Amino acid sequence: MKMRKLGKGGLEVSSLGLGCMGMSFGLGPAGEKSEMIKVIRAAVEKGVTFFDTAEVYGPFTNEELVGEALAPFKGKVAVATKFGFTPGPDGGRWSALNSRPKHIKEVADASLKRLKVEIIDLFYQHRVDPQVPIEDVAGAVQDLIKAGKVRYFGLSEAGAQTIRRAHKVQPVAALQSEYSLWWREPEREIIPTLEELGIGFVPFSPLGKGFLTGKIDDKTTFDATDFRNIVPRFTPEARKANQAVVDLLAEMARKTQATPAQVALAWLLAQKPWIVPIPGTTKLSRLEENLESVSLELTKDDLGEMDQASAKIKIEGARYPEQMQKLVGR
């Protein structure tokens, strides 16, 4: 497994991480615990050293799963988790924002226990809280770093100005946001900002919540608990219109003797050397397929061909429902 650095502070992780959310929450029923532990530990055995979770995934159950699965590998892997919400009584992820410094410190202590670690490797603000100055948030995480409870500070779905303001108080090691061949908005302002400041980029949903694998079409139905049921981009009409992106990946996959998922991940890895995607999966076979993308080298011609073709495709549907969309890019 090749390694990459996130930020200037020295956080070095595997070129591909593992997003663990879907094992417990968000994309249908939670996976069977022992099977999910097998997948996480298989990822470690195959060279993955970067794992992503959050307190609100469940809530709490995903951190507990990751903590149990990675307990034998303490000190050998990096775990990222997140603060910034007050998990609702119904277990909902999208509950009240809360990035007050006192709450951040309480979350850190609780996450340390669930993850079974002495220090959180990367602590992200999950969403920007407009009620709390980002300088106060960065200062709270700085206190946790000084106390030896956190190694690195991260932001998720933050806007460029927020990133700059936070970075002045406490260096930001990584920004996590959605980025893929069918969501290229970060290229306009976010990626240039990260490059200027020396901040790493961790794209989540690098496979478009499964759509870019080619295994989902306009006739696919999702479990009642699946978040994709309320995502405008996943209406049957939008999926039918957006099939053009999958067709583009499938064509390049044929050319390179790979799979659409591998091409989608290799495309991301080729954009910048400080980009570390975190595809999620609950299946060993998909884990193995995704990890092979690290050795797939797309040529300049391949990348140019994909850029040219994708520029002609109009993506249909927002990536979040309206209420959730208000929480991003602040």
pLDDT in tens, 44-65: 999 999 999 999 998 999 999 9
The CATH number for 290's domain is: 3.20.20.100
Residue 57 catalytic?
yes
Note whether residue 329 is domain-resident.
Answer: no
H/E stretch holding 194: helix 190-197
Note whether residue 242 is domain-resident.
Answer: no
Task: Give pLDDT, residue 158.
Answer: 97
Residue tagged active-site, from 57, 124, 152, 320: 57
* Nearest-angstrom CA–CA distance, 99 and 96: 10
Helices within 257-299 (DSSP H only): 260-271, 284-291
Residue 183 contacts residue 156 (beta carbons within 8 Å): no
The tens digit of pLDDT for each residue in 62-97 reads 999 999 999 999 999 999 999 999 876 665 555 689
Instruction: Collect the ranges in the chain with pLDDT lower than 50.
Output: none
Note whether residue 41 is domain-resident.
Answer: yes
Note whether residue 304 is domain-resident.
Answer: no
Angle at the Cα of 14 from the Cα atoms of 134 and 145, rounded to 5 degrees:
35
Task: Give pLDDT, residue 90.
Answer: 60
Q: Tell me the pTM.
A: 0.95
Note whether residue 81 is domain-resident.
Answer: yes
Note whether residue 36 is domain-resident.
Answer: yes
By residue range, what is the domain housing residue 189? 3-208+268-296
Number of domains present in the structure of the chain? 1
Cα-Cα-Cα-Cα dihedral sign, residues 58, 132, 123, 145: negative
Helix 300-310 to helix 236-256 angle, to the nearest 10 degrees?
Answer: 160
Task: Give pLDDT, residue 326.
Answer: 74
Note whether residue 236 is domain-resident.
Answer: no
Note whether residue 158 is domain-resident.
Answer: yes
Task: Give pLDDT, residue 221.
Answer: 94
Residue 127 contacts residue 177 (beta carbons within 8 Å): no
